[in-house]
Amino acid sequence: MSKDFNKLSFYDKNYKMRSGESFNDVDERFIDFINKLLNQNNESYALFIHGLILLSYLETICNFKFDGTNFDIKYNGKEVLNGNPKSPSVYKITYNDNKEVINVSLVK
């Protein structure tokens, strides 16, 4: 795998390795999965996922900047992450009854 794969993928979410998935492909599968969970009645879930999947999803719901080295992620003007994510990290994403994101925060 190219050492620039992550960098290229965040600049072009259609970029993919031969026979691989783009971040857009991953986002589509992940958002479908999230929507299935949100269709359950008033449940809370803990998801354990690969950090790149989470970062790609955060790019769809947050103000997201990546300079090739560091991330600057904000939700509603509030800083979620500035720098590089730690591994493992815990994020909390809260949805309202209309299945809309209402808060994103880094817990740990």
- The domain spans of the chain are 5-106
Dist CA 35 CA 54 (whole Å):
15
Report whether pLDDT(7) > 70: no
Dist CA 97 CA 92 (whole Å):
16
Mean pLDDT of 27-48: 89
Dist CA 24 CA 45 (whole Å):
24
- Digit-coded pLDDT (tens) for 43-94: 888 899 988 889 989 999 999 998 888 899 999 999 999 999 888 899 999 9
Report whether pLDDT(102) > 80: yes
Dist CA 16 CA 9 (whole Å):
7
Q: Which of 48, 56, 47 is nearest to 21 (CA)?
A: 56
